Chain A
Amino acid sequence: MKTAFRIVRPAKISDDELRIDPVLVERWLVRFLRDELVVARDIKKAVVGVSGGVDSAVVAFLCARALGPKNVLGVRMPYATSSPTSAKHGRLVIEQTGIDDRVVDITAAVDGYLSQEPDADAQRRGNVMARVRMIALFDQSAKIGGLPIGTGNKSERMFGYFTWHGDDSPPINPIGDLFKTQVWALARHLGVPRAIVEKPATADLIRGQTDEDDLGITYAQADRILSRLLSGHDVDDIIASGFAAKDVLLVKRRVDATHWKRHLATTAMISNTAINEFYLRPVDY
């Protein structure tokens, strides 16, 4: 008698390397904010720069849940050329979360400096805006005894797509290890309005600017390539797995060119007590 064999294959599981469980991530990040702010630093108030984009919206929602909305100050910092849509969406975030609202128009501060630098190009102007916003956020924090909360995601951190010591400067960042596509997934779970989640991402430093135009690749593609590069796959492997060579090389070049932006200043070492080289203490010690 013949033996009848049944072919057994593994059950289909999601092969999405960017999959997150948004319920768990929310729980994790709410606890992170409480532990790092209240427990470790004895600070009960947070300040979030609310741009109208999805990153700052997610951070505002998380802070409101972690600390209570009345312990969170949303600071909207428009410049003269900022998009009206950003302003509208910023207001929406304030309304939906119930956090305190403050508008600081940065036009006078930015133009005050740039009036002495009439030749500054769009990139320099954008950097000045980001750094003026940083000054405003830290000052608003000092005013209420709070701490600025970072809103940079992992994709832009890996691309170096931020202003050094500008939008990366807040000392606590709940979403810095989430790729942009993961931030979108978390935003949907948190109830961030669809208009904010579904619009094209933009730094809104230049009229009509979008992240994906600036970067030359969609986040959907870039995040998968980044995820594989960070997991140790080499460029040839990633191309062989079906990604366009030009996209993979673009991502690799951007990452390789911006390692410096993910570090503090390079300091000349002249002793065996050099800070962060020999003298090593954790940030929360």
Chain B
Amino acid sequence: MKRRTRRTIKPLGLVPRPRPNGARSPKSGRPIGLALVQFAPVKGDVAANLGAIGDALAALKRDRAPFPDVVVFPEACLSGYFVEGAVREVALTSDDLFKRLRAIAAKALGASHPPFDIVVGFYEADGGKLYNSALYATIGRSGAIRHVHRKLFLATYGVFDEERFVSRGRTIEAFDTPHGRAAILICEDACHSLSTTIAALRGAQILYIPSASPGRGLEDAEPANVRLWRDITRVAAAEHGIFIAYSGLLGFEGGKGFTGSSRLIGPFGDLRAEAPFDTPAILRVDVDPVDLVAARAALPMLGDLEANLAELTAMLDDESALRPRPRQRPKPSRRR
């Protein structure tokens, strides 16, 4: 895939935000090269799965297109998703993961490779607690961890049992990267419109969603959960005028088959590209930040939301306002 020609418009920074942590300013106007990777991890084998990340990086280096700016990997891809009580055996600290990713990248790409960003879903150990997390880091010269998102909505129903094994994250943050202001939501986090709304209000221009969605509903040509996720991500992107990069886990784990379908949604809710639901793949797609400007001009939903935010948040704060109100019965009129 060839990159689009460089544009001179400076579309990033639409929502001015302070840039904490010394993050650099976005490179305005340059298309952002994304690579959304989907693969089936070896259950419980962190070293092997870091090796798979190295394989993906090496494949991208060999690819005819320039190396991407951001490479995105799925939820829990260092261990597999269903690990139950073994979470503590496969969990890493974010610092440890960052060091290992640097080493893997140096081996796969060479020490002099230009910096690039990476998003990786993993089980995180921190201060005696365990989380279902995703790390965003810049790898290479002056590299650093830019953000760690901890999943808030721990799926605990039916086949899912996350709350039994990991603790809940508490915040949704947007953060600056060399490639625009971003946010991460993990799988069910993104099913709740309030989560994507908060990410957008905090200035995210691109939302990364590492996910692990087990396939079910085989009554039509593709699994029902694939259709549902496509709809959820398209609606969220269109509502807020943001890019959404979704990376889905693959492989069968104890009979449950994950449905990759990594996809990139544009800020009009337009599906730009989607990987198959059952094949290891790297989906390469470039996004042009200028599209964000066009989308928010044509559909100023986020601006409209900001205009009404005070009243809306007051309604949310006022718990009683959320309860259904009994209808006022009209007073019976006297018959004449």
> Which residues of A line the B interface, CB within 8 A?
19-21, 23-25, 27-28, 31-32, 35-36, 39-40, 278-285
CA distance A285 to B46 in the complex (A): 12
CA distance A28 to B222 in the complex (A): 10
Question: In the complex, which residues of chain A have a beta carbon less than 8 angstroms from the beta carbon of B235?
Answer: none
Question: In the complex, which residues of chain B have a beta carbon less than 8 angstroms from the beta carbon of A35?
Answer: 40, 251-252, 257
State whether B82 touches A25 (Cβ < 8 A): no
Within 264-304 of B, Cβ neighbours of A (below 8 Å) are at 278
Cross-chain pairs A/B with CB under 8 angstroms, 27 sampled: A19-B219, A20-B218, A20-B219, A21-B220, A21-B221, A24-B221, A24-B222, A24-B223, A25-B218, A28-B215, A28-B223, A28-B257, A28-B278, A31-B252, A32-B257, A35-B251, A35-B257, A36-B252, A39-B40, A40-B252, A278-B85, A280-B84, A281-B85, A282-B86, A284-B254, A285-B43, A285-B44
Residue of B nearest to A25 (CB): B218
Question: In the complex, which residues of chain B have a beta carbon less than 8 angstroms from the beta carbon of A20?
Answer: 218-219
Asked if B83 is an interface residue, CB under 8 A from chain A, the answer is: yes
Smallest CB–CB gap between A17 and chain B, Å?
9
B82-101 CB mask vs A (1 if < 8 Å, else 0) is 11111000000000000000
How many A-B pairs have beta carbons closer than 8 Å: the answer is 62
**Among the listed A24, A25, A27, A36, which residue makes an inter-chain contact with B255, where contact means beta carbons less than 8 Å apart?**
A36
Question: In the complex, which residues of chain A have a beta carbon less than 8 angstroms from the beta carbon of B255?
Answer: 32, 36
Smallest CB–CB gap between B269 and chain A, Å?
23
**Among the listed A23, A25, A40, A282, which residue makes an inter-chain contact with B84, where contact means beta carbons less than 8 Å apart?**
A282
B227-249 CB mask vs A (1 if < 8 Å, else 0) is 00000000000000000000000
Question: In the complex, which residues of chain B have a beta carbon less than 8 angstroms from the beta carbon of A32?
Answer: 252, 255, 257
Within 52-91 of B, Cβ neighbours of A (below 8 Å) are at 80, 82-86
Q: Is the interface of B mostly helix, strand, loop or mixed?
A: loop
Q: Which 10 A-B pairs give the minimum distances between C-beta atoms?
A: A35-B252, A280-B85, A280-B84, A283-B254, A19-B219, A284-B43, A282-B82, A285-B44, A24-B218, A25-B218
CA distance A244 to B254 in the complex (A): 37
Question: In the complex, which residues of chain A have a beta carbon less than 8 angstroms from the beta carbon of B82?
Answer: 282
State whether A39 touches B251 (Cβ < 8 A): yes
CA distance A285 to B86 in the complex (A): 8
Asked if B188 is an interface residue, CB under 8 A from chain A, the answer is: no
Question: In the complex, which residues of chain A have a beta carbon less than 8 angstroms from the beta carbon of B253?
Answer: 282, 284
Question: In the complex, which residues of chain A have a beta carbon less than 8 angstroms from the beta carbon of B86?
Answer: 281-282, 285
